[in-house]
Structure 1
Protein backbone atom coordinates (compact mmCIF):
# COMPACT_ATOMS: atom_id res chain seq x y z
CA UNK A 1 0.00 0.00 0.00
CA UNK A 2 1.44 3.38 -1.05
CA UNK A 3 1.52 6.57 0.98
CA UNK A 4 -1.67 7.95 -0.59
CA UNK A 5 -3.50 4.67 0.06
CA UNK A 6 -2.33 4.67 3.68
CA UNK A 7 -3.53 8.26 4.08
CA UNK A 8 -6.93 7.29 2.65
CA UNK A 9 -7.14 4.45 5.18
CA UNK A 10 -6.30 6.77 8.10
CA UNK A 11 -8.91 9.29 6.89
CA UNK A 12 -11.49 6.50 6.71
CA UNK A 13 -10.65 5.39 10.24
CA UNK A 14 -11.08 8.94 11.54
CA UNK A 15 -14.45 9.17 9.78
CA UNK A 16 -15.44 5.85 11.36
CA UNK A 17 -14.52 7.22 14.80
CA UNK A 18 -16.81 10.20 14.21
CA UNK A 19 -19.69 7.90 13.25
CA UNK A 20 -19.29 5.10 15.78
CA UNK A 21 -17.95 6.02 19.20
CA UNK A 22 -19.42 5.74 22.69
CA UNK A 23 -19.61 7.88 25.80
CA UNK A 24 -17.98 5.48 28.25
CA UNK A 25 -18.28 8.09 31.01
CA UNK A 26 -22.05 7.60 31.22
CA UNK A 27 -23.06 6.14 34.62
CA UNK A 28 -25.42 3.77 32.78
CA UNK A 29 -22.40 1.82 31.52
CA UNK A 30 -21.60 0.76 35.08
CA UNK A 31 -25.10 0.15 36.44
CA UNK A 32 -25.51 -3.40 37.78
CA UNK A 33 -28.28 -5.67 36.63
CA UNK A 34 -30.39 -7.98 38.82
CA UNK A 35 -28.33 -11.06 39.58
CA UNK A 36 -24.96 -9.37 39.00
CA UNK A 37 -23.78 -10.29 42.50
CA UNK A 38 -23.70 -13.92 41.35
CA UNK A 39 -22.04 -13.23 37.99
CA UNK A 40 -18.35 -13.57 37.16
CA UNK A 41 -15.87 -10.82 36.39
CA UNK A 42 -15.08 -12.51 33.08
CA UNK A 43 -16.09 -15.69 31.31
CA UNK A 44 -14.94 -18.44 33.72
CA UNK A 45 -13.13 -20.26 30.92
CA UNK A 46 -10.60 -17.41 30.77
CA UNK A 47 -9.48 -17.95 34.36
CA UNK A 48 -5.99 -19.50 34.37
CA UNK A 49 -7.30 -21.87 37.06
CA UNK A 50 -10.40 -23.00 35.15
CA UNK A 51 -10.69 -26.79 35.05
CA UNK A 52 -7.89 -27.41 37.56
CA UNK A 53 -8.28 -29.39 40.82
CA UNK A 54 -8.15 -26.07 42.69
CA UNK A 55 -11.00 -24.69 40.57
CA UNK A 56 -13.08 -27.85 41.02
CA UNK A 57 -12.68 -27.62 44.81
CA UNK A 58 -14.06 -24.06 44.93
CA UNK A 59 -17.66 -23.09 45.60
CA UNK A 60 -19.41 -21.02 42.94
CA UNK A 61 -19.18 -17.88 45.08
CA UNK A 62 -15.42 -18.42 45.44
CA UNK A 63 -15.10 -18.77 41.67
CA UNK A 64 -17.03 -15.53 41.17
CA UNK A 65 -14.72 -13.72 43.57
CA UNK A 66 -11.70 -15.24 41.81
CA UNK A 67 -12.71 -14.13 38.31
CA UNK A 68 -13.56 -10.65 39.56
CA UNK A 69 -10.04 -10.35 40.96
CA UNK A 70 -8.48 -11.83 37.83
CA UNK A 71 -10.34 -9.46 35.51
CA UNK A 72 -9.03 -6.55 37.59
CA UNK A 73 -5.51 -7.81 36.88
CA UNK A 74 -6.23 -8.29 33.16
CA UNK A 75 -7.73 -4.82 32.76
CA UNK A 76 -4.96 -3.29 34.87
CA UNK A 77 -2.46 -4.63 32.33
CA UNK A 78 -4.70 -3.17 29.61
CA UNK A 79 -4.51 0.28 31.21
CA UNK A 80 -0.73 -0.05 31.55
CA UNK A 81 -0.47 -0.83 27.84
CA UNK A 82 -2.74 1.99 26.74
CA UNK A 83 -0.94 4.62 28.82
CA UNK A 84 2.44 3.37 27.59
CA UNK A 85 1.20 3.50 24.00
CA UNK A 86 0.22 7.14 24.31
CA UNK A 87 3.51 8.21 25.87
CA UNK A 88 5.60 6.35 23.27
CA UNK A 89 3.64 7.42 20.20
CA UNK A 90 3.01 11.02 21.23
CA UNK A 91 6.71 11.39 22.02
CA UNK A 92 7.57 10.11 18.54
CA UNK A 93 4.95 12.38 16.92
CA UNK A 94 5.55 15.50 18.96
CA UNK A 95 7.10 17.44 16.05
CA UNK A 96 5.13 15.77 13.27
CA UNK A 97 2.79 17.70 10.98
CA UNK A 98 -0.55 17.64 12.87
CA UNK A 99 -2.45 17.77 9.57
CA UNK A 100 -1.10 14.38 8.45
CA UNK A 101 -3.93 11.81 8.36
CA UNK A 102 -2.02 9.32 10.52
CA UNK A 103 -1.23 11.98 13.14
CA UNK A 104 -4.84 13.17 13.21
CA UNK A 105 -6.02 9.62 13.81
CA UNK A 106 -3.35 9.21 16.51
CA UNK A 107 -4.86 12.18 18.35
CA UNK A 108 -8.27 10.50 18.18
CA UNK A 109 -6.80 7.17 19.28
CA UNK A 110 -5.17 8.74 22.33
CA UNK A 111 -8.50 10.31 23.29
CA UNK A 112 -10.09 6.87 23.00
CA UNK A 113 -7.33 5.21 25.01
CA UNK A 114 -7.68 7.68 27.87
CA UNK A 115 -11.40 6.99 28.02
CA UNK A 116 -10.78 3.24 27.85
CA UNK A 117 -8.45 3.45 30.82
CA UNK A 118 -11.03 5.46 32.77
CA UNK A 119 -13.70 2.98 31.68
CA UNK A 120 -11.73 -0.03 32.89
CA UNK A 121 -11.01 1.63 36.24
CA UNK A 122 -14.70 2.47 36.71
CA UNK A 123 -15.82 -1.03 35.67
CA UNK A 124 -13.54 -2.67 38.22
CA UNK A 125 -14.79 -0.37 40.97
CA UNK A 126 -18.38 -1.13 39.98
CA UNK A 127 -17.94 -4.88 40.59
CA UNK A 128 -16.24 -4.36 43.95
CA UNK A 129 -12.75 -5.35 42.91
CA UNK A 130 -9.44 -3.48 42.88
CA UNK A 131 -6.16 -3.32 40.99
CA UNK A 132 -2.93 -5.00 42.04
CA UNK A 133 0.69 -3.78 42.00
CA UNK A 134 2.68 -4.93 38.97
CA UNK A 135 5.93 -6.84 39.00
CA UNK A 136 8.97 -4.53 39.02
CA UNK A 137 10.30 -6.14 35.84
CA UNK A 138 7.14 -5.11 34.01
CA UNK A 139 7.50 -1.54 35.23
CA UNK A 140 11.13 -1.50 34.03
CA UNK A 141 10.06 -2.81 30.64
CA UNK A 142 7.37 -0.12 30.57
CA UNK A 143 10.03 2.55 31.08
CA UNK A 144 12.11 1.13 28.21
CA UNK A 145 9.01 0.88 26.04
CA UNK A 146 8.01 4.50 26.64
CA UNK A 147 11.45 6.03 26.15
CA UNK A 148 13.55 3.88 23.83
CA UNK A 149 11.51 1.52 21.64
CA UNK A 150 11.09 2.55 17.98
CA UNK A 151 7.97 2.66 15.82
CA UNK A 152 7.37 -0.85 14.49
CA UNK A 153 8.24 -2.40 17.86
CA UNK A 154 5.94 -0.02 19.76
CA UNK A 155 3.06 -0.67 17.39
CA UNK A 156 3.82 -4.41 17.41
CA UNK A 157 3.79 -4.76 21.19
CA UNK A 158 0.63 -2.71 21.54
CA UNK A 159 -1.06 -4.66 18.74
CA UNK A 160 -0.14 -7.89 20.55
CA UNK A 161 -2.01 -6.80 23.66
CA UNK A 162 -4.95 -5.39 21.70
CA UNK A 163 -5.37 -8.59 19.67
CA UNK A 164 -5.37 -10.78 22.79
CA UNK A 165 -7.85 -8.54 24.61
CA UNK A 166 -10.05 -8.44 21.53
CA UNK A 167 -10.46 -12.23 21.50
CA UNK A 168 -11.08 -12.35 25.26
CA UNK A 169 -13.56 -9.50 25.34
CA UNK A 170 -15.61 -10.76 22.40
CA UNK A 171 -16.27 -13.75 24.62
CA UNK A 172 -16.95 -11.70 27.76
CA UNK A 173 -19.39 -9.29 26.12
CA UNK A 174 -21.67 -12.08 24.88
CA UNK A 175 -21.76 -14.17 28.06
CA UNK A 176 -24.67 -14.06 30.52
CA UNK A 177 -22.24 -15.38 33.16
CA UNK A 178 -20.39 -12.02 33.21
CA UNK A 179 -21.42 -8.97 35.28
CA UNK A 180 -23.19 -6.31 33.20
CA UNK A 181 -20.58 -3.49 33.64
CA UNK A 182 -17.84 -5.79 32.31
CA UNK A 183 -20.01 -6.92 29.39
CA UNK A 184 -20.79 -3.32 28.42
CA UNK A 185 -17.20 -2.09 28.69
CA UNK A 186 -15.99 -5.11 26.71
CA UNK A 187 -18.45 -4.27 23.94
CA UNK A 188 -17.33 -0.63 23.78
CA UNK A 189 -13.68 -1.62 23.79
CA UNK A 190 -14.09 -4.23 21.03
CA UNK A 191 -15.89 -1.76 18.73
CA UNK A 192 -13.52 1.16 19.23
CA UNK A 193 -10.35 -0.92 19.42
CA UNK A 194 -11.01 -2.50 16.03
CA UNK A 195 -10.05 0.84 14.45
CA UNK A 196 -6.90 1.03 16.55
CA UNK A 197 -5.81 -2.44 15.46
CA UNK A 198 -6.32 -1.56 11.79
CA UNK A 199 -4.26 1.59 12.35
CA UNK A 200 -1.46 -0.31 14.11
CA UNK A 201 -1.27 -3.00 11.43
CA UNK A 202 -0.94 -0.40 8.68
CA UNK A 203 1.66 1.62 10.61
CA UNK A 204 3.71 -1.57 11.03
CA UNK A 205 3.45 -2.35 7.30
CA UNK A 206 4.52 1.21 6.43
CA UNK A 207 7.53 1.04 8.77
CA UNK A 208 8.67 -2.31 7.37
CA UNK A 209 9.12 -0.90 3.85
CA UNK A 210 12.85 -0.80 3.07
CA UNK A 211 13.80 -2.03 6.55
CA UNK A 212 17.24 -3.68 6.81
CA UNK A 213 17.41 -7.39 7.60
CA UNK A 214 19.24 -6.67 10.86
CA UNK A 215 16.67 -4.16 12.12
CA UNK A 216 13.82 -6.47 11.10
CA UNK A 217 15.45 -9.29 13.08
CA UNK A 218 15.93 -7.12 16.18
CA UNK A 219 12.38 -5.75 15.95
CA UNK A 220 10.99 -9.27 15.55
CA UNK A 221 12.70 -10.43 18.75
CA UNK A 222 11.75 -7.34 20.75
CA UNK A 223 8.07 -7.69 19.78
CA UNK A 224 8.23 -11.31 20.94
CA UNK A 225 9.82 -10.33 24.25
CA UNK A 226 7.15 -7.68 24.74
CA UNK A 227 4.33 -10.12 24.08
CA UNK A 228 5.95 -12.63 26.44
CA UNK A 229 5.95 -10.07 29.25
CA UNK A 230 2.34 -9.08 28.55
CA UNK A 231 1.18 -12.70 28.63
CA UNK A 232 3.08 -13.48 31.83
CA UNK A 233 1.91 -10.28 33.53
CA UNK A 234 -1.72 -11.40 33.29
CA UNK A 235 -0.97 -13.86 36.10
CA UNK A 236 -0.04 -11.97 39.25
CA UNK A 237 0.67 -13.85 42.48
CA UNK A 238 -0.72 -10.93 44.49
CA UNK A 239 -4.19 -11.64 43.09
CA UNK A 240 -4.22 -15.15 44.51
CA UNK A 241 -2.51 -14.33 47.78
CA UNK A 242 -5.08 -11.56 48.33
CA UNK A 243 -7.76 -14.25 48.04
CA UNK A 244 -6.02 -16.38 50.68
CA UNK A 245 -4.75 -18.95 48.17
CA UNK A 246 -1.29 -20.50 48.47
CA UNK A 247 0.78 -19.24 45.53
CA UNK A 248 2.87 -22.39 45.09
CA UNK A 249 -0.28 -24.48 44.73
CA UNK A 250 -1.85 -21.95 42.38
CA UNK A 251 1.26 -21.82 40.21
CA UNK A 252 1.44 -25.61 40.03
CA UNK A 253 -2.22 -25.83 38.98
CA UNK A 254 -1.77 -23.16 36.30
CA UNK A 255 1.46 -24.68 34.97
CA UNK A 256 -0.27 -28.01 34.47
CA UNK A 257 -3.46 -26.55 33.00
CA UNK A 258 -3.69 -27.43 29.30
CA UNK A 259 -7.00 -25.55 29.00
CA UNK A 260 -5.25 -22.33 30.04
CA UNK A 261 -2.52 -22.86 27.44
CA UNK A 262 -5.10 -23.53 24.71
CA UNK A 263 -7.20 -20.44 25.46
CA UNK A 264 -4.17 -18.17 25.40
CA UNK A 265 -2.86 -19.73 22.18
CA UNK A 266 -6.28 -19.11 20.63
CA UNK A 267 -6.20 -15.50 21.82
CA UNK A 268 -2.75 -14.98 20.29
CA UNK A 269 -3.53 -16.71 16.98
CA UNK A 270 -4.68 -13.62 14.99
CA UNK A 271 -1.55 -11.70 16.02
CA UNK A 272 0.78 -14.62 15.27
CA UNK A 273 -0.82 -14.95 11.81
CA UNK A 274 -0.23 -11.24 11.17
CA UNK A 275 3.42 -11.49 12.22
CA UNK A 276 3.95 -14.47 9.93
CA UNK A 277 2.47 -12.66 6.92
CA UNK A 278 4.62 -9.59 7.55
CA UNK A 279 7.89 -11.50 8.02
CA UNK A 280 8.12 -10.84 11.76
CA UNK A 281 8.25 -14.43 12.95
CA UNK A 282 11.72 -16.00 12.94
CA UNK A 283 13.11 -18.98 14.84
CA UNK A 284 14.05 -16.97 17.92
CA UNK A 285 10.63 -15.33 18.12
CA UNK A 286 8.90 -18.70 17.74
CA UNK A 287 10.92 -20.04 20.67
CA UNK A 288 9.84 -17.08 22.83
CA UNK A 289 6.18 -17.48 21.89
CA UNK A 290 6.32 -21.18 22.76
CA UNK A 291 7.80 -20.32 26.15
CA UNK A 292 4.88 -17.91 26.59
CA UNK A 293 2.34 -20.65 25.73
CA UNK A 294 1.23 -18.50 22.78
CA UNK A 295 2.39 -20.80 19.98
Structure 2
Protein backbone atom coordinates (compact mmCIF):
# COMPACT_ATOMS: atom_id res chain seq x y z
CA UNK A 1 0.00 0.00 0.00
CA UNK A 2 1.58 3.26 -1.03
CA UNK A 3 0.80 6.93 -0.57
CA UNK A 4 2.82 9.97 -1.46
CA UNK A 5 4.15 13.55 -1.78
CA UNK A 6 6.87 14.88 -4.08
CA UNK A 7 10.62 14.95 -3.47
CA UNK A 8 12.39 18.28 -3.87
CA UNK A 9 14.32 20.67 -1.59
CA UNK A 10 12.44 23.58 -0.05
CA UNK A 11 12.78 26.59 2.22
CA UNK A 12 10.82 27.46 5.32
CA UNK A 13 8.57 30.04 3.65
CA UNK A 14 7.06 30.95 0.29
CA UNK A 15 9.64 33.54 -0.82
CA UNK A 16 11.17 32.96 -4.26
CA UNK A 17 14.62 31.43 -4.23
CA UNK A 18 17.56 33.40 -5.56
CA UNK A 19 18.57 32.21 -9.00
CA UNK A 20 16.39 29.11 -9.08
CA UNK A 21 13.09 27.49 -8.24
CA UNK A 22 11.20 28.91 -5.29
CA UNK A 23 10.67 27.03 -2.07
CA UNK A 24 7.05 26.58 -3.10
CA UNK A 25 7.89 25.03 -6.46
CA UNK A 26 10.18 22.55 -4.79
CA UNK A 27 7.61 21.80 -2.09
CA UNK A 28 5.00 21.07 -4.75
CA UNK A 29 7.35 18.65 -6.47
CA UNK A 30 8.04 16.89 -3.18
CA UNK A 31 4.34 16.67 -2.46
CA UNK A 32 3.73 15.02 -5.82
CA UNK A 33 6.61 12.64 -5.22
CA UNK A 34 5.14 11.68 -1.86
CA UNK A 35 1.85 10.88 -3.55
CA UNK A 36 3.63 8.59 -5.97
CA UNK A 37 5.81 6.80 -3.43
CA UNK A 38 5.02 6.73 0.26
CA UNK A 39 4.43 3.75 2.51
CA UNK A 40 2.24 2.54 5.34
CA UNK A 41 4.67 0.28 7.23
CA UNK A 42 1.86 -1.44 9.14
CA UNK A 43 0.82 -3.14 5.89
CA UNK A 44 3.91 -2.71 3.69
CA UNK A 45 6.04 -4.96 5.92
CA UNK A 46 5.09 -8.55 6.64
CA UNK A 47 5.19 -8.48 10.42
CA UNK A 48 4.00 -12.09 10.60
CA UNK A 49 7.05 -13.41 8.75
CA UNK A 50 9.28 -15.44 11.08
CA UNK A 51 12.76 -14.29 12.05
CA UNK A 52 15.43 -16.26 10.20
CA UNK A 53 17.35 -18.05 12.98
CA UNK A 54 20.81 -17.94 11.38
CA UNK A 55 20.79 -14.48 9.76
CA UNK A 56 22.25 -11.22 11.02
CA UNK A 57 20.14 -8.18 11.85
CA UNK A 58 22.81 -5.83 10.47
CA UNK A 59 25.62 -6.66 8.04
CA UNK A 60 28.49 -8.06 10.15
CA UNK A 61 30.96 -5.50 8.77
CA UNK A 62 28.80 -2.70 10.24
CA UNK A 63 28.85 -4.12 13.77
CA UNK A 64 30.94 -1.88 16.02
CA UNK A 65 33.32 -4.66 17.15
CA UNK A 66 33.53 -6.48 13.80
CA UNK A 67 37.05 -7.46 12.77
CA UNK A 68 38.46 -7.37 16.29
CA UNK A 69 39.75 -10.20 18.46
CA UNK A 70 36.68 -9.76 20.64
CA UNK A 71 34.41 -10.32 17.63
CA UNK A 72 36.37 -13.38 16.52
CA UNK A 73 36.09 -14.87 20.00
CA UNK A 74 32.28 -14.92 19.77
CA UNK A 75 30.25 -17.81 18.43
CA UNK A 76 28.05 -17.11 15.41
CA UNK A 77 25.00 -17.09 17.69
CA UNK A 78 26.66 -14.45 19.89
CA UNK A 79 27.61 -12.39 16.84
CA UNK A 80 24.00 -12.49 15.62
CA UNK A 81 22.82 -11.42 19.07
CA UNK A 82 25.25 -8.48 19.02
CA UNK A 83 23.83 -7.47 15.63
CA UNK A 84 20.29 -7.67 17.07
CA UNK A 85 21.17 -5.38 19.95
CA UNK A 86 22.86 -2.86 17.64
CA UNK A 87 19.78 -2.85 15.37
CA UNK A 88 17.56 -2.19 18.39
CA UNK A 89 19.86 0.68 19.38
CA UNK A 90 19.71 2.29 15.92
CA UNK A 91 15.92 1.96 15.76
CA UNK A 92 15.51 3.35 19.28
CA UNK A 93 17.64 6.38 18.39
CA UNK A 94 15.54 6.85 15.26
CA UNK A 95 12.35 7.00 17.33
CA UNK A 96 13.71 9.63 19.72
CA UNK A 97 15.11 11.76 16.91
CA UNK A 98 11.87 11.65 14.90
CA UNK A 99 10.12 12.79 18.07
CA UNK A 100 12.41 15.83 18.37
CA UNK A 101 12.03 16.71 14.69
CA UNK A 102 8.24 16.43 14.79
CA UNK A 103 8.02 18.72 17.81
CA UNK A 104 10.26 21.26 16.08
CA UNK A 105 8.28 21.12 12.83
CA UNK A 106 4.98 21.68 14.65
CA UNK A 107 6.38 24.68 16.48
CA UNK A 108 7.77 26.07 13.22
CA UNK A 109 4.41 25.66 11.49
CA UNK A 110 2.82 27.94 14.08
CA UNK A 111 4.74 30.81 12.45
CA UNK A 112 4.12 29.85 8.80
CA UNK A 113 1.44 30.41 6.20
CA UNK A 114 -0.91 27.41 6.48
CA UNK A 115 -1.90 27.73 2.81
CA UNK A 116 1.69 27.50 1.48
CA UNK A 117 2.94 24.36 -0.25
CA UNK A 118 6.04 24.42 1.97
CA UNK A 119 3.77 24.19 5.03
CA UNK A 120 1.87 21.34 3.43
CA UNK A 121 5.10 19.50 2.77
CA UNK A 122 6.20 19.92 6.38
CA UNK A 123 2.90 18.36 7.43
CA UNK A 124 3.53 15.54 4.99
CA UNK A 125 6.98 15.04 6.47
CA UNK A 126 5.39 14.93 9.92
CA UNK A 127 3.15 12.13 8.69
CA UNK A 128 6.13 10.25 7.28
CA UNK A 129 8.05 10.58 10.52
CA UNK A 130 5.19 9.41 12.73
CA UNK A 131 4.81 6.31 10.53
CA UNK A 132 8.56 5.74 10.81
CA UNK A 133 8.25 5.83 14.60
CA UNK A 134 5.53 3.17 14.38
CA UNK A 135 7.70 1.14 11.99
CA UNK A 136 10.75 1.29 14.26
CA UNK A 137 8.69 0.43 17.33
CA UNK A 138 7.10 -2.56 15.64
CA UNK A 139 10.51 -3.70 14.39
CA UNK A 140 11.98 -3.62 17.91
CA UNK A 141 9.02 -5.64 19.14
CA UNK A 142 9.29 -8.02 16.16
CA UNK A 143 12.87 -8.96 17.04
CA UNK A 144 12.04 -9.32 20.73
CA UNK A 145 14.11 -6.29 21.67
CA UNK A 146 13.80 -3.75 24.46
CA UNK A 147 14.06 -0.09 23.39
CA UNK A 148 17.12 1.76 24.61
CA UNK A 149 15.61 4.84 26.22
CA UNK A 150 17.33 8.09 27.15
CA UNK A 151 17.71 8.73 30.87
CA UNK A 152 15.29 11.13 32.56
CA UNK A 153 17.67 14.10 32.41
CA UNK A 154 18.35 13.34 28.74
CA UNK A 155 14.62 13.27 27.99
CA UNK A 156 14.26 16.62 29.72
CA UNK A 157 16.98 18.08 27.49
CA UNK A 158 15.42 16.47 24.41
CA UNK A 159 12.09 18.15 25.17
CA UNK A 160 13.82 21.54 25.30
CA UNK A 161 15.62 21.17 21.96
CA UNK A 162 12.57 21.94 19.77
CA UNK A 163 12.42 25.36 21.43
CA UNK A 164 15.84 26.12 19.90
CA UNK A 165 15.30 24.55 16.48
CA UNK A 166 14.09 27.34 14.21
CA UNK A 167 15.06 28.32 10.67
CA UNK A 168 18.52 27.17 9.56
CA UNK A 169 19.25 25.64 12.97
CA UNK A 170 16.22 23.39 12.50
CA UNK A 171 17.33 22.22 9.07
CA UNK A 172 20.95 21.79 10.14
CA UNK A 173 19.80 19.64 13.06
CA UNK A 174 17.48 17.69 10.76
CA UNK A 175 20.39 16.86 8.46
CA UNK A 176 22.60 15.78 11.36
CA UNK A 177 19.83 13.46 12.50
CA UNK A 178 18.91 12.12 9.06
CA UNK A 179 21.97 12.03 6.82
CA UNK A 180 24.23 9.82 8.93
CA UNK A 181 21.47 7.29 9.48
CA UNK A 182 20.58 7.49 5.79
CA UNK A 183 24.16 6.71 4.75
CA UNK A 184 24.30 3.89 7.31
CA UNK A 185 21.05 2.44 6.00
CA UNK A 186 22.33 2.49 2.44
CA UNK A 187 25.28 0.42 3.63
CA UNK A 188 22.86 -1.97 5.34
CA UNK A 189 20.99 -2.44 2.07
CA UNK A 190 24.17 -3.90 0.58
CA UNK A 191 24.24 -6.67 3.19
CA UNK A 192 23.66 -10.19 1.89
CA UNK A 193 23.16 -11.97 5.23
CA UNK A 194 20.61 -9.57 6.71
CA UNK A 195 17.08 -10.43 7.83
CA UNK A 196 14.70 -9.75 4.89
CA UNK A 197 12.33 -7.58 6.94
CA UNK A 198 15.24 -5.36 7.99
CA UNK A 199 16.13 -4.76 4.34
CA UNK A 200 12.49 -3.92 3.59
CA UNK A 201 12.35 -1.50 6.52
CA UNK A 202 15.57 0.22 5.44
CA UNK A 203 14.36 0.52 1.85
CA UNK A 204 11.16 2.24 2.97
CA UNK A 205 13.02 4.62 5.25
CA UNK A 206 15.71 5.50 2.70
CA UNK A 207 13.08 6.21 0.03
CA UNK A 208 11.09 8.63 2.20
CA UNK A 209 14.05 10.22 3.96
CA UNK A 210 15.55 11.15 0.58
CA UNK A 211 12.76 13.72 0.21
CA UNK A 212 13.24 15.03 3.74
CA UNK A 213 16.97 15.45 3.18
CA UNK A 214 16.36 17.21 -0.11
CA UNK A 215 13.95 19.62 1.58
CA UNK A 216 16.38 20.45 4.41
CA UNK A 217 19.39 20.82 2.11
CA UNK A 218 17.50 23.18 -0.16
CA UNK A 219 16.69 25.48 2.73
CA UNK A 220 20.32 25.78 3.79
CA UNK A 221 21.53 26.26 0.21
CA UNK A 222 19.14 29.17 -0.21
CA UNK A 223 19.56 30.80 3.19
CA UNK A 224 23.28 30.33 3.85
CA UNK A 225 24.53 33.04 1.43
CA UNK A 226 22.36 35.71 3.09
CA UNK A 227 22.94 34.74 6.73
CA UNK A 228 24.30 37.45 9.04
CA UNK A 229 27.82 36.54 10.19
CA UNK A 230 26.73 35.77 13.76
CA UNK A 231 24.03 33.36 12.61
CA UNK A 232 26.46 31.70 10.23
CA UNK A 233 28.94 31.18 13.08
CA UNK A 234 26.24 29.56 15.23
CA UNK A 235 24.88 27.29 12.48
CA UNK A 236 28.35 26.35 11.22
CA UNK A 237 29.59 25.25 14.64
CA UNK A 238 26.51 24.05 16.51
CA UNK A 239 26.14 20.91 14.39
CA UNK A 240 29.57 19.75 15.59
CA UNK A 241 27.95 18.38 18.76
CA UNK A 242 26.61 15.64 16.49
CA UNK A 243 30.06 14.04 16.48
CA UNK A 244 30.34 13.26 20.22
CA UNK A 245 26.63 12.47 20.30
CA UNK A 246 26.90 9.80 17.60
CA UNK A 247 30.08 8.40 19.15
CA UNK A 248 28.20 7.87 22.41
CA UNK A 249 25.08 6.62 20.66
CA UNK A 250 26.70 4.03 18.39
CA UNK A 251 28.78 2.59 21.24
CA UNK A 252 26.10 2.74 23.91
CA UNK A 253 27.07 0.45 26.84
CA UNK A 254 23.65 -1.23 26.79
CA UNK A 255 24.21 -2.85 23.39
CA UNK A 256 27.17 -4.78 24.78
CA UNK A 257 25.77 -5.55 28.21
CA UNK A 258 22.57 -6.95 26.72
CA UNK A 259 24.62 -9.20 24.43
CA UNK A 260 26.50 -10.60 27.42
CA UNK A 261 29.74 -8.64 26.92
CA UNK A 262 31.68 -6.46 29.34
CA UNK A 263 30.34 -3.03 28.27
CA UNK A 264 33.48 -1.09 29.18
CA UNK A 265 35.81 -3.45 27.40
CA UNK A 266 33.56 -3.79 24.34
CA UNK A 267 33.08 -0.03 24.02
CA UNK A 268 36.83 0.53 24.30
CA UNK A 269 37.42 -2.08 21.59
CA UNK A 270 34.75 -0.54 19.33
CA UNK A 271 36.05 3.01 19.65
CA UNK A 272 39.52 1.95 18.54
CA UNK A 273 38.28 -0.45 15.86
CA UNK A 274 39.50 0.65 12.37
CA UNK A 275 36.51 -1.02 10.70
CA UNK A 276 34.03 0.84 12.90
CA UNK A 277 35.83 4.16 12.45
CA UNK A 278 35.82 3.66 8.67
CA UNK A 279 32.07 3.04 8.76
CA UNK A 280 31.60 6.22 10.83
CA UNK A 281 33.59 8.28 8.33
CA UNK A 282 31.68 6.80 5.39
CA UNK A 283 28.35 7.58 7.07
CA UNK A 284 29.32 11.19 7.85
CA UNK A 285 30.94 11.98 4.50
CA UNK A 286 27.80 13.15 2.61
CA UNK A 287 26.82 15.40 5.53
CA UNK A 288 30.22 16.99 6.12
CA UNK A 289 30.75 17.50 2.39
CA UNK A 290 27.41 19.29 2.16
CA UNK A 291 28.15 21.58 5.11
CA UNK A 292 31.51 22.38 3.52
CA UNK A 293 29.86 23.06 0.15
CA UNK A 294 27.44 25.64 1.60
CA UNK A 295 30.05 27.27 3.84
CA UNK A 296 28.62 25.94 7.10
CA UNK A 297 31.50 23.76 8.29
CA UNK A 298 33.05 25.79 11.10
CA UNK A 299 36.41 25.12 12.70
CA UNK A 300 34.87 24.03 15.98
CA UNK A 301 32.42 21.65 14.34
CA UNK A 302 35.16 20.17 12.15
CA UNK A 303 37.29 19.60 15.25
CA UNK A 304 34.38 17.94 17.06
CA UNK A 305 33.47 15.65 14.15
CA UNK A 306 37.13 14.68 13.73
CA UNK A 307 37.65 14.11 17.45
CA UNK A 308 34.67 11.73 17.45
CA UNK A 309 36.10 9.74 14.53
CA UNK A 310 33.74 10.94 11.79
CA UNK A 311 36.34 12.88 9.81
- Offset of 1:86 from its aligned partner? 0.7
- Offset of 1:148 from its aligned partner? 2.0
Is 116-125 or 238-247 further displaced after alignment? 238-247
- Aligned equivalents of 2:214, 2:178: Cα separation in 1: 11
Tell whether 2:128 aligns with 1:84.
no
What's the TM-score, normalizing by structure 1? 0.93
Q: 1:253 to 1:4 in 2, by over 3 A?
A: closer
1:53-108 deviations in Å (ceiling 9; x for gaps): 11110011101011111111111111111110010121021142111111110000
In structure 2, the gaps of 5 or more residues are: 1-16
Match for residue 278 of structure 2? 262
- Offset of 1:228 from its aligned partner? 3.2
Q: 1:177 to 1:31 in 2, by over 3 A?
A: farther
Q: 1:73 to 1:267 in 2, by over 3 A?
A: same
Q: 1:220 to 1:140 in 2, by over 3 A?
A: farther
Among residues 271, 276, 285, which one is paired with 2:301 in the alignment?
285
1:172-226 deviations in Å (ceiling 9; x for gaps): 2342311122111101001111001001111222332421111111111111113
Q: 1:137 to 1:158 in 2, by over 3 A?
A: farther
How many residues are treated as equivalent by the alignment?
294
Tell whether 2:29 aligns with 1:7.
no
Q: 1:137 to 1:57 in 2, by over 3 A?
A: farther
Among residues 57, 66, 71, which one is paired with 2:73 in the alignment?
57
1:33-44 aligned at under 5 Å gives the runs 36-44=52-60
- Aligned equivalents of 1:230, 1:256: Cα separation in 2: 15
SS at 1:21's partner residue? strand
- When the two chains are superposed, the root-mean-square deviation of aligned CA atoms in Å is 1.9
Match for residue 256 of structure 2? 240
In structure 1, the gaps of 5 or more residues are: none
Kept after mapping to 2: 8 A contact 1:77/1:234: no
Match for residue 220 of structure 1? 236
- Aligned equivalents of 2:151, 2:252: Cα separation in 1: 8
- Aligned equivalents of 1:198, 1:218: Cα separation in 2: 22
What's the TM-score, normalizing by structure 2? 0.89
Q: 1:53 to 1:138 in 2, by over 3 A?
A: farther
1:1-295 aligned at under 5 Å gives the runs 1-2=17-18, 5-26=22-43, 28-32=45-49, 36-135=52-151, 138-295=154-311
- Aligned equivalents of 2:309, 2:129: Cα separation in 1: 28
Q: 1:135 to 1:265 in 2, by over 3 A?
A: farther
Q: 1:170 to 1:286 in 2, by over 3 A?
A: same
- Aligned equivalents of 2:244, 2:294: Cα separation in 1: 19
Q: 1:144 to 1:10 in 2, by over 3 A?
A: same
SS at 2:309's partner residue? coil
1:114-137 deviations in Å (ceiling 9; x for gaps): 000100111121122221122566
The structure richer in helix per residue is 1
Kept after mapping to 2: 8 A contact 1:126/1:181: no
Is 81-90 or 240-249 further displaced after alignment? 240-249
